[in-house]
Amino acid sequence: MGNVLTIILQRLALGLLTLLVVSVLIFVAVNLLPGDFAQSILGQGATPESVAAIRRDLGLDQPMVTRYFSWLGGALQGDFGSSFAQASFANFTGSDSGAGSVAQQIGPRFANTMFLAAVSAAIAVPFAIVLGVLAALYRNSVFDRATNIFTLSSISSPEFFLAYVLILFLAVLNPILPAVSNIFADMSFSERLEKTLLPALTLTLVVTAHMMRMTRAAIINLLSSPYIEMARLKGLSPLRVIVRHALPNALAPIINVVAINLAYLITGVVVVEVVFVYPGIGQLFVDSVKFRDIPVVQACCLIFAAAYILLNLTADIMSILSNPRLRHPK
């Protein structure tokens, strides 16, 4: 058990180091983007003095290293700073309601994205595992080939294409689901779920293929094992052999691919949220890039990176815990 704990602590330390390096890359890349927020908000006719005043008020006149450590220190405490756009609007209107806080903007948007990811995962993970088990059970059959063609076609298509196809068939030709996912905080769970189903189905089509094919390949690799042959000689049905004996021993690669696809459901929703006008963190990210709102862009990128690293660490740890040779070393 001590060996497992050491490996887990090493993975966690590596994850924190990776996140630190990614934070540096995010900060440098965002600050090297072309354009200037102060110039864009004041217009081309702004005087150099007014541009310099805006930059001074927003702290953009400080050295990049100083701004990075100030941003990192605040981020470690959950404070991502103030939105440039909201702060400028507050200055123009004379209001001071605290609406410029990046954390306040991201909080409800991130909750919406997590809800979308949870609905997509609840559909995609069981669907992909069942398809993978059936494809392994009936391998090289018509069902296996049809499943592979369907999943490969869905994963080879861009997200926006799948989204528009689903909108066409499920919202326009057959008005079953709403085409625009305009959800609000005071919505009931059923209304929120109804408006989230179409983007969730789009994400399901995107991530199902990876999980299904990994499940199928992992199970087929185990079917030639001696203990599987022994189970067959005992007269067990093929489905029982796969579900009871092969699937539990194929969990490590399946957990890895499931975790990676769960990370995609959080970090790769930008296109889907834009198509369906879903008020998630991906939509906020696109709007912030358009308005050069640097603090919001940095916070969104850091949250995406943290979610991806965390889920990959979870996959590594679950794979370690599912490995008997690590859990019970000789």
According to the model, what pLDDT value does residue 316 have? 82
How many whole angstroms separate alpha carbon 118 and alpha carbon 146?
A: 28
Of all residues in the chain, what percent carry a pLDDT higher than 90? 22
> Taking 80 as the threshold, does the pLDDT of residue 200 lie above it?
yes
Domain over 114-290 is classified CATH 1.10.3720.10: yes
pLDDT at position 23 is: 92
Pairwise CA distance, residues 293 & 190, whole Å: 34
Buried b / exposed e across 108-117, counting CB within 10 Å, b at 16+?
ebbebbebbb
pLDDT tens for each residue of 204-255: 988 888 889 888 888 888 887 888 888 888 888 888 888 887 877 777 788 8
pLDDT (tens digit, 9 = 90+) per residue, 269-309? 888 999 998 999 988 998 888 877 888 888 999 999 999 89
| Residue pLDDT, tens place only, 115-124 | 999 999 999 9
pLDDT (0 to 100) of residue 329: 54
Give just the sign of the alpha carbon dihedral 78, 261, 28, 48.
negative
pLDDT of 327: 60
Q: What is the mean pLDDT of residues 318-328?
A: 68
Q: What pLDDT does 119 receive? A: 93
| pLDDT for the residue numbered 86 | 66
Which value, in Å, is the radius of gyration of the alpha carbons in the chain?
24
Say which residues have a Cβ less than 8 Å from residue 68's Cβ, sequence separation at least 6.
Answer: 24, 27
Section 199-205 average pLDDT: 92
Tell me the sheet residues that pair with 169: none
282's enclosing H/E stretch is: helix 281-290
How sure is the predictor about 328, in pLDDT bands with cuts at 50, 70 and 90?
low
Taking only the tens place, the pLDDT of each residue in 130-164 is 998 888 888 889 998 998 888 888 888 888 899 99
- Identify the pLDDT of residue 35: 66
At residue 42, the pLDDT reads 63
Domain ranges in the chain with CATH number 1.10.3720.10: 114-290
Q: pLDDT of 45-102, one tens digit each?
A: 667 777 777 777 777 778 888 888 888 888 888 888 878 766 555 554 455 544 468 8
Beta-carbon-side half-sphere exposure of residue 267 (alpha carbons within 13 Å): 19
CB atoms within 10 A of CB 25: 11
Q: State the amino acid at position 314 in one-letter form.
A: T
Q: Is the Cβ–Cβ distance between 212 and 258 less than 8 Å?
A: no
Confidence (pLDDT) at 210: 85
pTM, rounded to two decimals: 0.84
Give the burial string for 278-291 (b: 16+ CB within 10 Å, else e). Answer: bbbbbbbbeebbeb
- At 323 the pLDDT is 65
